[in-house]
Amino acid sequence: MKSGLSVGRLARVGGWCVFFGGSSAMLVASFAGGTPVPTTVADYFLDGTQPNTLNHPIVDATNCATCHGLYDEEHEPWSNWAATMMGQAARDPLFHACLTVANQDAAFSGDLCIRCHVPGGWLEGRSTPTDGSLLTGADFQGVSCNFCHRMVDPDYKPGVSPAPDQGILAALSAIPVNPHTGNFVMDPDDVRRGPFDLGPKFFYHDYLQSPFHQDSAMCATCHDVSNPVYSRQPDGSYALNNIGQPHPTQDKHDMFPVERTYSEWLMS
């Protein structure tokens, strides 16, 4: 059984690499200078929270186990997270293989991969060099508890969204047009959000009740993936943007689609 699951997983993830590779091949074909295509970090810039702007770093997930783990592996939140592909996102050898291929095809493209698979390291400025060689320690906890629970809804809804979110969004250079490719917005402070009101006597950590954490659109932040080096044309084709420039619209619908897991689910 384990062998069969491994083969199935290899097929699924390997297929993703091939699909991403198709985007890379298209990029290489569009550029006459050969590989690696001389893209820059600026080509992969996305709106939202930028590296080295947090007041408090992403908290090591082992701290969460103190209250949310070590009591019932079958039901506790911590163990169930640690065993998932989110918890293993930065350790997965297939991810690192795809990261290598991406960087070989287009310079600095690994930054786009690291921001979703290793968001803590990306937010703390360790995504350059884009081969992951600066990642360390808790970075390898992947999509960790503190990361997801500090995400802010980029679409502020008066009277619904937590009031502090308005100021967080106003402080950004640009608010994401729509969620995709790791263009997350983060609370710069360690204020943890979730679907429940924990009450006035809760004192273990700062918290805010957040409807966003019950909204499937939150998943689109990493599960709709686009290649921002391309822009969609009126005839449905894709054209290479000017090298060294961010995508002009930042809209995922105007970028080359790599994954549309969320959108496909939404329309199913």
% of the chain exceeding 70 in pLDDT? 87
pLDDT confidence band for 13 (50 / 70 / 90): very low
Q: Which tokens go with 59?
A: 């908290």
For the chain, give the mean pLDDT. Answer: 90
More confident residue, 172 or 13: 172
pLDDT in tens, 105-159: 999 999 999 999 999 999 999 999 999 999 999 999 999 999 999 999 999 999 9
Burial classification of residue 242, based on how many CB atoms lie within 10 Å of its CB (0-12 exposed, 13-18 middle, 19 or more buried): exposed
- Is the pLDDT assigned to residue 6 strictly greater than 60? no
Domain segments of the chain as ranges: 2-266
- The pLDDT value recorded for residue 132 is 97
pLDDT in tens, 178-237: 999 999 999 999 999 999 999 888 889 999 999 999 999 999 999 999 999 999 999 999
Q: Which tokens go with 38?
A: 């001389």
Hey, CA dihedral for 25, 31, 32, 33, is it positive or negative?
A: negative
- The pLDDT value recorded for residue 128 is 96
- Is the pLDDT assigned to residue 41 strictly greater than 70? yes
Mapping DSSP onto H, E and C, the string for the chain reads: CHHHHHHHHHHHHHHHHHHHHHHHHHHHHHCCCCCCECCCHHHHCCCCCCCCCCCCCCCCHHHCHHHHCCCCCCCCHHHHHHCCCCCCCCCCHHHHHHHHHHHHHECCCHHHHHHHHCHHHHHCCCCCCCCCCCCCHHHHHCCCHHHHHCECCCCCCCCCCCCHHHHHHHCCCCCCCCCCCCCCCECCCCCEEECCCCCCCCCCCCEEECHHHHCCHHHHHHHEEEECCEEECCCCCEEECCCCCCCCCCCHHHCEEEEEHHHHHHCC
143 strand-pairing partners: none
What integer is the mean pLDDT of 33-42?
85
How far out from the chain centre does Cα 97 lie? 18
Q: Quote the CA–CA distance of 190 and 56 in Å, as a whole number.
A: 6
- Is the pLDDT assigned to residue 164 strictly greater than 70? yes
CB atoms within 10 A of CB 155: 17
- The pLDDT value recorded for residue 20 is 54
pLDDT in tens, 238-255: 999 999 999 999 999 999
- The pLDDT value recorded for residue 32 is 59
- Residue in this structure with the two tokens 């590779």, named with its chain if needed: 21
More confident residue, 201 or 264: 264
